[in-house]
Amino acid sequence: MSAYATRDSSHSGATYAALIALPILTSATWILLNVAVKDASVGLTVFGRLIFTALGLYLLTVVEKRRHHHRKQQSPIGHESQFRLSQRNVLLLSLTGVVGYTIFVTIAVSLTGAVIPSLIGSTGPLIVLLVESHLHRRRVPPRVLIGTIITVVCTIGFIASRHENVGHALNLWGILFSILSLLSMTAYVVHFSMATSGWKVPMASVILPIYAWSLLPTGVWALCDVIRGERLTFSTLAVLFALGFAIYVPVYLLQHGLLAKIGAFPVSVVGLSITPLVGLSGIILFNNAPWSLCQQFFVIASLFGMIPALWARTHPYTRAQETRAGADNK
Q: What is the mean pLDDT of the chain?
A: 84
Task: Give the least confident one: 83-92, 168-177, 241-250, 317-326.
Answer: 317-326
The Cα-based distances of 271 to 21, 26, 39, 78, 125 in angstroms read 11, 9, 26, 34, 9
| Region 270-286 average pLDDT | 88
Percent of the chain with pLDDT over 90: 52
pLDDT at 319 exceeding the cut of 60: no
pLDDT at residue number 317: 35
- Find out whether 90 and 189 touch, Cβ atoms under 8 Å: no
pLDDT at 266 exceeding the cut of 50: yes
Residue, of 38 and 302, whose pLDDT is higher: 302
pLDDT at 73 exceeding the cut of 90: no
Q: Specify the DSSP class assigned to residue 168.
A: G
Give the separation between CA 240 and CA 37, rounded to whole angstroms.
Answer: 8
Q: Assign 3-class secondary structure to 51-69.
A: HHHHHHHHHHHHHHHHHHH
Q: Specify the DSSP class assigned to residue 198.
A: T
pLDDT at residue number 1: 36
pLDDT at residue number 75: 56
* Inter-residue long-range contacts of 70-77, CB under 8 Å, 24+ positions, other chains counted: none
Residue, of 160 and 317, whose pLDDT is higher: 160
Give the separation between CA 117 and CA 90, rounded to whole angstroms.
Answer: 26
- What are the tens digits of pLDDT across the range 87-136? 999 999 999 999 999 999 989 888 888 888 889 999 999 999 999 999 98
Give the separation between CA 113 and CA 39, rounded to whole angstroms.
Answer: 15
- Find out whether 169 and 108 touch, Cβ atoms under 8 Å: no
Give the separation between CA 113 and CA 27, rounded to whole angstroms.
Answer: 19
Q: Across 60-69, 161-170, 180-189, which has the greatest mean pLDDT?
A: 180-189
pLDDT at residue number 328: 43
Give the separation between CA 244 and CA 56, rounded to whole angstroms.
Answer: 7
pLDDT band at 324 (very low <50, low <70, confident <90, very high): very low
- Find out whether 265 and 125 touch, Cβ atoms under 8 Å: yes
Task: Give the least confident one: 140-149, 168-177, 242-251, 261-270.
Answer: 168-177
pLDDT at residue number 40: 79
- What are the tens digits of pLDDT across the range 209-263? 999 999 999 999 999 999 999 988 888 888 889 888 888 999 999 999 999 998 9
pLDDT at residue number 74: 61
| Region 50-76 average pLDDT | 83
Give the separation between CA 47 and CA 105, rounded to whole angstroms.
Answer: 15
pLDDT at residue number 289: 87
| Region 190-205 average pLDDT | 92
Please say whether the dihedral angle defined by the alpha carbons of residues 121, 125, 129 and 132, taken in this order, is positive or negative: positive
Q: How many CB atoms lie within 10 A of CB 216?
A: 10
Task: Give the least confident one: 69-78, 128-137, 187-196, 286-295.
Answer: 69-78
- What are the tens digits of pLDDT across the range 179-197? 999 999 999 999 999 999 8
pLDDT band at 76 (very low <50, low <70, confident <90, very high): low
* Inter-residue long-range contacts of 81-90, CB under 8 Å, 24+ positions, other chains counted: 83/196, 83/199, 83/201, 83/206, 84/205, 84/206, 85/195, 85/196, 85/206, 85/209, 85/210, 89/191, 89/195, 90/209, 90/210, 90/213
